């Protein structure tokens, strides 16, 4: 069997900010194989974008340090690669679509030139004109967009242009980091549908980073749940979303399903998102976990254990100790409550 396109194993990343250290990844493991659609979910600050940046060698130099674990692309270890050696790997085999297209697109360059440059970077001999039209068609934009500047387009159209630039590189894996967050609900749905169409038409793998469980449920075959710099649960999306193995995943699902309360507030998981200023001794979720046992904070972070079908795993001491998922479900619901998130 060929190696996965992207394989991240027990990755540890620390940011050395001027006034503090942030242990942003404390053991993140993730794989993306051919023709897969993978979702990465987790609260803000859980390390989702750090994983994406690490996968493209885009961690800020002089600030971020990989202190452990490994990254491999198509079976090649790229963990310690120097910055300039990353260049040939960017775009192909892995391309990225960012949340904010305006910060990526050149404001004074027409769309056709921006797509054309991406084509030429990967295939210098190629004539770009027809290919630009093909790519615009692929992202379901009219050919007339080719002569537009980014500021003349709507947010959804810019996101499509960014996808065309990424696809111009002929990636095997497209990483989309919160591609819909800045868009209105209707446009979000269109972009999700487009990602699915692209995945099916080109057979390209998609790794979608999202806060939105409903989007992941609709689009993804596999999913990873991140908490405090770790992947705490992974496996087939439909199985996780019907039988979550980790109390955190259960809490996320409960919060996502719940309606607003009488004061118009949404449900969140009780307790604060943990500070990443320290490495965790025990389970990082223990302080917020409604089924935490005394030793959850004291023992080492729980290893991943099988939580269902063969490749559905979760990192929870309850699973290690043989208690079933249903125990979590009974008690974990107590952890989702309505608290101060304003509508």
Ligand X SMILES: Nc1ncnc2c1ncn2[C@@H]1O[C@H](COP(=O)(O)OP(=O)(O)OP(=O)(O)O)[C@@H](O)[C@H]1O
Angle at 173 (CA atoms; ends 168, 177), nearest 5 degrees: 90
User: Site for ligand X (CB under 6 A): how many residues?
Assistant: 15
Q: What string marks each residue from 190 to 229 as x (binds ligand X by CB under 6 A) or -? A: ----------------------------------------
Q: Which region among 40-48, 163-171, 256-264, 308-316 touches ligand X (by CB under 6 A)?
A: 40-48
* Binds ligand X (CB under 6 A): choice among 46, 234, 254, 304: 46
Distance between start and end Cα atoms, the chain:
49
* Binds ligand X (CB under 6 A): choice among 24, 32, 240, 296: 24
Q: Among ligand X, Mg ion, none, what does residue 114 contact (CB within 5–8 Å per kind)?
A: none
Q: Among ligand X, Mg ion, none, what does residue 47 contact (CB within 5–8 Å per kind)?
A: ligand X
Q: Which region among 47-55, 217-225, 281-289, 331-339 touches ligand X (by CB under 6 A)?
A: 47-55
Contact between 45 and ligand X per CB under 6 A:
yes
Q: Among ligand X, Mg ion, none, what does residue 28 contact (CB within 5–8 Å per kind)?
A: none
Q: Which region among 46-54, 128-136, 157-165, 259-267 touches ligand X (by CB under 6 A)?
A: 46-54
Per CB under 5 A, which of residues 15..74 are in contact with Mg ion?
Answer: 48-49
* Binds ligand X (CB under 6 A): choice among 14, 49, 159, 199: 49
Closest CA to 341 of 270, 275, 289: 270
- Give the position of tokens 């996320």: 252
Contact between 274 and ligand X per CB under 6 A:
no
* Binds ligand X (CB under 6 A): choice among 27, 42, 179, 245: 42
Q: Among Mg ion, ligand X, none, what does residue 22 contact (CB within 5–8 Å per kind)?
A: ligand X
* Distance (Å, whole) CA 223 – CA 46: 15
Per CB under 6 A, which of residues 58..77 are in contact with ligand X?
Answer: 60, 63
Please provide residue 267's backbone torsions phi and psi, each rounded to the nearest 5 degrees: -75, 145
| 3-state secondary structure at position 271 | coil
Q: How far is the CB of 46 from ligand X (least distance, A)?
A: 4
Q: How are beta strands 313-315 and 230-236 bridged, if at all?
A: antiparallel
- Give the position of tokens 């270890």: 77
Per CB under 6 A, which of residues 135..154 are in contact with ligand X?
Answer: none
Helix segments in the chain, DSSP class H = 48-55, 83-86, 101-104, 111-122, 129-138, 155-168, 185-202, 213-219, 237-242, 247-257, 317-320, 325-332
Tell me the residue number closest to Mg ion, measured at CB.
49
Closest CA to 207 of 230, 237, 167, 177: 177
Q: How far is the CB of 61 from Mg ion (least distance, A)?
A: 19
Q: How far is the CB of 17 from ligand X (least distance, A)?
A: 4
**Residues ≥6 apart with Cβ < 8 Å to 323:** none
Closest CA to 7 of 58, 68, 71: 71
Closest CA to 271 of 210, 329, 334, 318: 334
* Binds ligand X (CB under 6 A): choice among 15, 86, 149, 266: 15
* Distance (Å, whole) CA 165 – CA 67: 33
Paired with 13 in beta bridges are 25, 66
Contact between 155 and ligand X per CB under 6 A:
no
Contacts with ligand X, residue ranges (CB under 6 A): 15, 17, 22, 24, 42, 44-50, 60, 63, 276
Q: Residues interacting with Mg ion, by CB under 5 A?
A: 48-49
């Amino acid at each position: 069997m060929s190696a996965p396109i992207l394989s991240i194993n027990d990755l540890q990343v620390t940011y050395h900010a001027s006034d503090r250290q942030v242990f942003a990844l404390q053991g993140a493991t993730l794989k993306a194989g051919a023709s897969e659609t993978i979702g990465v979910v987790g609260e803000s600050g859980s390390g989702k974008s750090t994983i994406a940046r690490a996968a493209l060698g885009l961690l800020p130099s002089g600030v971020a340090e990989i202190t452990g674990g490994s990254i491999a692309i198509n079976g090649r270890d790229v963990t310690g690669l120097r910055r300039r050696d990353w260049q040939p790997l960017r775009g192909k085999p892995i391309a990225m679509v960012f949340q904010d297209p305006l910060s990526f697109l050149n404001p004074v360059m027409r769309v056709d030139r921006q797509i054309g440059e991406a084509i030429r970077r990967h295939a210098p001999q190629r004539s770009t004109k027809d290919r630009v039209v093909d790519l615009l068609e692929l992202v379901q934009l009219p050919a007339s967009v080719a002569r537009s500047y980014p500021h003349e387009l709507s947010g959804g159209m810019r996101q499509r242009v960014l996808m065309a630039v990424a696809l111009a590189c002929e990636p095997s894996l497209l990483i989309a980091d919160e591609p819909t967050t800045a868009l209105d609900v209707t446009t979000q749905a269109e972009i999700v549908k487009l990602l699915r169409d692209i995945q099916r038409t080109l057979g390209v793998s998609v790794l979608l980073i999202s806060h939105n469980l409903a989007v992941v449920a609709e689009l993804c075959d596999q999913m990873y749940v991140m908490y405090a710099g770790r992947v705490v649960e992974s496996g087939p999306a439909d199985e996780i979303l019907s039988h979550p193995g980790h109390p955190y995943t259960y809490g996320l699902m409960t919060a996502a399903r719940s309606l607003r309360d009488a004061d118009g507030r949404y449900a969140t998981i009780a307790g604060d998102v943990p500070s990443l200023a320290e490495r965790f001794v025990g389970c990082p979720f223990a302080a917020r976990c409604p089924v935490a046992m005394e030793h959850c904070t004291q023992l080492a972070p729980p290893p991943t254990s099988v939580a269902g079908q063969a490749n559905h795993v979760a990192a929870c001491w309850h699973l290690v100790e043989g208690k079933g998922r249903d125990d979590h479900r009974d008690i974990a619901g107590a952890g989702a409550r309505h608290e101060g998130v304003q509508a």
